[in-house]
Amino acid sequence: MIDARSVLLLWFPDQAGITGGRTREPAIFPLRLKGRKGLEVHILMIEDDASIADMYRLQLEHDGYKVTVATTGEIAFSTLSGSAPDLVLLDLLLPDRSGFEVLDALNERFPNHPPVVILSNYGEPSMIDRGRSLGAIEYLVKSRVTPADISEQIPMWVEQGRRGGRKES
Amino acid sequence: MILAAAVALDLTAAAFVALGVAIGYHWYRDRGRTQGMLALALVALAVVAALGRIPNPPVLLSAVIVVLFMASGFFVLLFRHEFIPLGRTAYRGAFVLLAVGIGLGVLDVTVFAHANPVVVTLLGLGLISIWAVFTGEPIVRFWLASNRLPAVQRARMRFLSFGFAILITILVVDVLGGSAVQSPTAVIITQLIALVAVPAIYLSLAPPPLLRRIWRMSEENALRAAMQDLLIFTTSREALAERATFWAVRLVGATAGFIADPNGKIIANTAIDRAHAARLISGRDRSASGSTTGIIMAPLHLTEGVGTLAIIGGPFTPVFGTEEISQLRAYANSVSAGLERARVAERMAAIESNKSQFLNLASHELRGPVTVIRGYLSMLEAGLLGELNDRGRMAAGVMAAKVSEMNELIEEMIESARLEEGGVTLRAVEADLREIARSAAYIVTPMLESKHQLVMDLPERRVRVKVDPDRTKTIVANLLSNAIKYSPDGGVITCQVRSRAGMAKVAVSDQGIGIRRESIATLFTRFGRIITPETEHLKGTGLGLFLGRQLARLQDGDITVASVEGEGSTFTLQLPLAGAGPEAASNGGAETSAEGAPEHTVSASSS
């Protein structure tokens, strides 16, 4: 039996988004992590594909996160005006505009927006560079990571967003 | 001497008659209005020359001669008018001048026939002046215009100008010279000079092919180069058509030209707007090609039908002859061949690009479903969706492995499409090839079965290479995984790292099934997996070695193979050794992972 991870690592280990030697963090970790309002960590997922959104929601809610799904950029903006999530997971192919445009608008309209992690089906170096230049703290190709991989990195991203100078206004 | 002078006069007259007949016949054969005017002028001149030899002509005949003489000059002007239309005033003025000239001439031969010689000379001078204006203006105009024309046209125009210039000079000298040029010797000389004008004018109108070829020689080389361009270089069809039109225009000395597809679409145009060209195309039967006034249309035989190469004469274009038509037709055949080749090349490129685009699109579209399947499977395995029994867990494991295979295929497809588009960017850093080989071996360890034995043969010293460590690791891991896959009966698999003569190499040897000699050529092609009864059950995309070699070559290296069927294979990855640099990279392995994965660099800095 071939280990699934090893086969994936065979090609493009650098972009696989998972590191071979990392041990799985226990799921109770997020429970210790508090969101910016001292409550549970709130994640805004901007994703139009319901099957993917549902899948991630299942894992993230199981791990103790609060998840809001926005299916378009517009809905995401109204969500952000209402509440302040601790992390944004951003898809690049959205019905009303591209994820890059959402991120660009986010930078403009919400200068103190929470850290953004791009989750996309495209892993072209040029797109990764663009995402990073727009301020995304991470760019992951969906098919290379499992929901658990994402979930276990969330505390780090949230922490990173806080340290990154985005203080509460 | 007087007899000799008379013979000279007769000879000149005969030569002009012959010229008139020849031009008349020439015109009769391929009638063109433009050429017609010149033919009329020369025929009139021939008649004048013939009638002039009649001794003591009656007054009426003299009047006819004068009228025909004036007409010959006027026709030359009209010939010029066909090329470069005169202004309205000039045109009217010409008619007035013609009337005045005829009036003067008739007066000269009737009322003043026996008047004071001075008056006769003045009248004659007036007559000649008007004739000189009629012919002299076109001579100057043609000479100036000829500068911008291709060799053949330039020579033709100059010969025409030259011939008429001689005639004007002789006539003026004749009239002004009076008794000084009446001596037999003078007559013989002037007549001999006049004789020179005859071949000059004839050649300008109907130059024999040999002469045209000589004139053209200077341009032949440039044309030959242009033809070569048409046939050898692969440019876009439009660019090729543009160039072909330009040369066709030059070839026959036209001013404008265009190329139309069989469906009437204009694909190239020079000095003519597309709308005008389209009107010309739709306005005539395309199957009939040939010369009408100022236009030659040559057929282009293309796969999808008959296109058109059209050349349009302008103000300075002399009459198109059969030579130009046949030349343009021959040229059109080359153009057809060039256009066909360009079309084939473009189609091939489009197919290649479509293939890459398809590969790219399909693989990205496949990532979506794979993400979901893989994600739920991982949750299923982790017990997130409820506890599975043993069989369920086994099934989930198999499915996870299969999805991973699928994922691997997708990644390879994307990388292959990316390579095809030249979109691969390598992050070259200095690394230790031993470290790379070690981590590659680590990756394939789960594939090893008990019957296999993996031997790492690494040198004591570091083997420094400047490569993209992750992609190089991928290449080596792929070679190792192939060695395992194609050694179904087990055996020793050796991974040997060496450096020699500026090159570093990783040789992966197995004792497996080996490769047939004739199959080696297809090994490194895209989807070039060799299917034999021994290998058909093995999974693989056929992209691994293709990608490996491409990636190696992108780093100035290569992959080579040596194999004996039934005994095993050795695949060798060669990479250039890094030049002697500072020993900054003391721990190549650590640097490798940091440089290759910027995502993780971020992670590392924050944790």
- For residue range B520-568, list pLDDT tens digits in order: 877 887 766 666 666 666 666 667 888 888 888 888 899 999 888 888 8
In this structure, what are the phi and psi dihedrals at residue B332, rounded to the nearest 5 degrees? -60, -35
Same domain, B159 and B224: no
What residues of A are in contact with residue B445 (Cβ under 8 Å)? 6
Same domain, B11 and B100: yes
Given a cut of 70, whether residue B587 has pLDDT beyond it is no
Tell me which of A105-119, B315-329, B458-472 is least confident.
B315-329
Q: Which domain holds residue B482?
A: 429-606
In this structure, what are the phi and psi dihedrals at residue B502, rounded to the nearest 5 degrees? 80, -5
**Does residue A94 sit in helix, strand or coil?**
coil
- DSSP annotation of A19 reads -
Given a cut of 90, whether residue B288 has pLDDT beyond it is no
Minimal Cβ distance to B606: which of A49, A62, A160:
A160
Same domain, B97 and B16: yes
Best CA proximity match to B2, nearest among B168, B174, B157, B188: B188
Mention every residue, 6+ apart, whose C-beta is less than 8 A from residue B100.
B130
Q: Is A166 in CB contact (< 8 Å) with chain B?
A: no
Residue type, A18: I
- HEC string of B454-509 equals EEEECCCCCCEEEECHHHHHHHHHHHHHHHHHCCCCCEEEEEEEEEECCEEEEEEE
CA angle B378, B383, B386 (to 5 degrees): 120
What's the rounded Cα separation, in Å, for the pair A131 and A104? 10
- Residue B6 forms part of a structural domain: yes
Q: Give B489's pLDDT tier (boundaries 50, 70, 90).
A: confident
State pLDDT tens for residues B129-158: 888 888 888 888 888 777 766 777 778 778
What is the per-residue pLDDT for A61? 93
Same domain, B240 and B177: no
Tokens, residue B512: 């497996």
Tokens, residue B363: 């693989």
For chain A, give the percent of residues with pLDDT over 90: 43
For chain B, give the percent of residues with pLDDT over 70: 84
For chain B, give the percent of residues with pLDDT over 90: 9
- DSSP annotation of A33 reads S
Q: Do A148 and B407 touch (CB under 8 A)?
A: no
Same domain, B396 and B543: no
How many domains are there within chain B?
3
What residues of A are in contact with residue B393 (Cβ under 8 Å)? none
- HEC string of B29-60 equals HCCCHHHHHHHHHHHHHHHHHHHHCCCCCCHH
Please state, as a whole number, how many other Cβ atoms lie within 10 Å of the Cβ of residue B104: 21
What is the per-residue pLDDT for B495? 93
In this structure, what are the phi and psi dihedrals at residue B152, rounded to the nearest 5 degrees? -65, -45
- DSSP annotation of B348 reads H
- Residue B194 forms part of a structural domain: yes
| Interface mutation target, options B363, B539, B599, B602, chain A, most CBs of A under 10 Å | B599
What's the rounded Cα separation, in Å, for the pair B472 and B478? 10
Given a cut of 90, whether residue A150 has pLDDT beyond it is yes
Strand order in the sheet with B491-500: B452-457, B491-500, B503-509, B568-576, B558-564
Check: CB of residue B381 under 8 Å from CB of residue B400: yes
Q: Give B494's pLDDT tier (boundaries 50, 70, 90).
A: very high
Q: Do A121 and B478 touch (CB under 8 A)?
A: no
Check: CB of residue B506 under 8 Å from CB of residue B495: yes
Average pLDDT over residues B471-484: 89
- What is the distance in angstroms between the Cα of A154 and the nearest Cα belonging to chain B? 11
Tell me which of A67-81, B41-55, B458-472, B499-513 is least confident.
B41-55
- Residue B174 forms part of a structural domain: yes
Tokens, residue B539: 């999974």
CA B242 to chain CA centroid, Å, is 7
Same domain, B14 and B142: yes
CA distances to A10, A100, B526 from A14, rounded to whole Å, are 10, 23, 23
Sign of torsion over alpha carbons B235, B237, B242, B243: positive
- DSSP annotation of B261 reads -
Q: Do B371 and A52 touch (CB under 8 A)?
A: yes
- Residue B212 forms part of a structural domain: no
Which one of B207, B234, B250 terminates a domain? B207
Q: What is the mean pLDDT of chain A?
A: 78
Tokens, residue A65: 């996160």
Selection from B95-109, B212-226, B348-362, B529-543 with the highest mean pLDDT: B95-109
Best CA proximity match to A16, nearest among A1, A29, A24, A5: A5
H or E element that contains B296: strand B295-302
CA distances to B118, B229, B500 from B115, rounded to whole Å, are 8, 71, 114
- Residue B364 forms part of a structural domain: yes
State pLDDT tens for residues A19-37: 434 444 444 444 455 555 5
> What Rg value do the Cα atoms of chain A yield, rounded?
15
**Does residue A92 sit in helix, strand or coil?**
coil
Sign of torsion over alpha carbons A100, A105, A107, A108: positive
**Does residue B273 sit in helix, strand or coil?**
coil
Same domain, B145 and B263: no
What is the per-residue pLDDT for B271? 83
What's the rounded Cα separation, in Å, for the pair B472 and B446? 20
Q: Do B367 and A9 touch (CB under 8 A)?
A: no
Q: Give B292's pLDDT tier (boundaries 50, 70, 90).
A: very low
What is the per-residue pLDDT for A122? 84
What is the per-residue pLDDT for B583? 41
Given a cut of 70, whether residue A70 has pLDDT beyond it is yes
Given a cut of 50, whether residue B392 has pLDDT beyond it is yes
What is the per-residue pLDDT for B514? 87
Average pLDDT over residues B205-209: 73
Inter-helix orientation angle B598-606/B588-596, to 10°: 100
What's the rounded Cα separation, in Å, for the pair B411 and A16? 10
Which one of B184, B207, B230 terminates a domain? B207
DSSP bridge pairs for B500: B503
For domain A26-161, say whether CATH 1.10.3720.10 is its number: no
What's the rounded Cα separation, in Å, for the pair B297 and B41? 29
CATH of the domain at B495: 3.30.565.10
What is the per-residue pLDDT for B10? 83
- Residue B61 forms part of a structural domain: yes
Query: Is B291 exposed, middle or buried (CB count within 10 Å of its CB: 0-12, 13-18, 19+)?
Result: buried
What is the per-residue pLDDT for B527? 66
Same domain, B420 and B434: no
Residue type, B131: W
State pLDDT tens for residues B550-563: 888 888 899 999 88
Average pLDDT over residues B294-320: 79
Sign of torsion over alpha carbons A120, A122, A127, A128: positive
Minimal Cβ distance to B602: which of A5, A14, A138:
A138
What's the rounded Cα separation, in Å, for the pair A87 and B443? 33
CATH of the domain at B239: 3.30.450.40
Best CA proximity match to A15, nearest among B586, B473, B421, B356: B473
Mention every residue, 6+ apart, whose C-beta is less than 8 A from residue B403.
A4, B370, B373, B374, B377
Average pLDDT over residues B193-204: 82
ipTM of the complex: 0.77
What is the per-residue pLDDT for B327? 79
Strand order in the sheet with A66-70: A66-70, A42-46, A87-90, A116-120, A138-141
Please state, as a whole number, how many other Cβ atoms lie within 10 Å of the Cβ of residue B24: 16
Given a cut of 90, whether residue A88 has pLDDT beyond it is yes
Average pLDDT over residues B316-323: 61
State pLDDT tens for residues B324-377: 788 788 888 888 988 888 888 888 888 877 777 777 777 778 888 999 999 999
- Residue B523 forms part of a structural domain: yes
Mention every residue, 6+ apart, whose C-beta is less than 8 A from residue B274.
B258, B266
Same domain, B170 and B226: no
What is the per-residue pLDDT for A87? 94
Q: What is the mean pLDDT of chain B?
A: 79
What residues of B are in contact with residue A122 (Cβ under 8 Å)? 364
What is the per-residue pLDDT for B506? 93
Same domain, B203 and B327: no
Given a cut of 90, whether residue A140 has pLDDT beyond it is yes
Which pairing describes strands B568-576 and B558-564: parallel, antiparallel, or unpaired? antiparallel
Tell me which of A20-24, A64-68, B353-357, B437-441 is least confident.
A20-24
Same domain, B48 and B192: yes
How many CB pairs below 8 A link A and B? Answer: 124
Q: Give A47's pLDDT tier (boundaries 50, 70, 90).
A: very high
Which one of B402, B424, B446 terminates a domain? B424
What residues of A are in contact with residue B407 (Cβ under 8 Å)? 7-8, 143-144
What is the per-residue pLDDT for A139? 93
Average pLDDT over residues B224-230: 72
Same domain, B410 and B438: no
Selection from A62-76, B139-153, B406-420 with the highest mean pLDDT: A62-76
What is the per-residue pLDDT for B535? 66
Q: Do B473 and A59 touch (CB under 8 A)?
A: no
What residues of B are in contact with residue A8 (Cβ under 8 Å)? 404, 407-408
> What Rg value do the Cα atoms of chain B yield, rounded?
44
Tokens, residue A36: 């910016």
What is the per-residue pLDDT for B314? 62
- Residue B125 forms part of a structural domain: yes
Mention every residue, 6+ apart, whose C-beta is less than 8 A from residue B554.
B424, B426
